[in-house]
Amino acid sequence: MYIFGLGNPGLEYGETRHNVGFLFLDYINSRYLKAPEKHEPEYVWFQSRLKGELLMFIKPQTYMNLSGRVVWSLKKEHMTPRDIIVVYDDAALPLGKIRIRPGGSSGGHNGITSIINAFNGDNGFARIRIGIAGAQGEREPLRDYVLDTFTREEEALLPDIFDLAWKGLVTIVNEGVETAMSRFNGRIITCQDQ
């Protein structure tokens, strides 16, 4: 199984809200997996086993809008949409909330559009959307907001949010998307959880 965390390469994007997919993979690797990262021309990856299943964690280095290019190149290994889980930011969800889905439209997210296109329109891959919406997003253009860094208060919530998303990911792998949806889609991490 392949786990894609979406983001943009480069130091200027490293800690931005739009890079929450990259940040999530970095967090779970440093906290739980401790796997060495390997570098290919268009992606960074590491792998680990989860209850016997080999998982390949991938951070495309092609910029968000071209994320599907990495998927396309890996399809040569007979990858189908059912073989992947994509973790990415969602500006329509509040910070602290995740939403797991078995498939669906891109919702206007260019990285997801690119992956759907790589599968010739098949959108039947699981997703973990990590909410990034906050009060600032209402006062500035969306493009500026997602490419801005997290505030100190928001950053303090990220470990708990990523732990929640990790539990969701483990549940998808072990018990399926439907179980993960019912268990995690209604939960939200707040400052009170700190």
pLDDT at residue 62 greater than cutoff 70: yes
Cα–Cα dist 194/181, whole Å: 24
pLDDT at residue 138 greater than cutoff 60: no
pTM more than 0.85: yes
pLDDT at residue 137 greater than cutoff 50: no
Angle of the 152-175 helix axis to the 177-184 helix axis, nearest 10 = 140
Residue range 8-34, pLDDT digits in tens:
998 888 899 999 999 999 999 999 999
Distances (CA, A) of 162 to 32, 79, 101, 102, 144: 11, 26, 17, 19, 23
Domain count, the chain: 1
Closest CA to 19 of 3, 30, 4, 8: 8
Give the range of the structural domain holding residue 113, as residue numbers without chain letter: 2-193
Which pLDDT value is given to residue 171?
Answer: 97
Cα–Cα dist 89/130, whole Å: 5
CATH number at residue 152: 3.40.50.1470
For the question of residue 39 being annotated catalytic, the response is no
Residue range 84-123, pLDDT digits in tens:
999 999 998 999 999 999 999 999 899 999 999 999 999 9
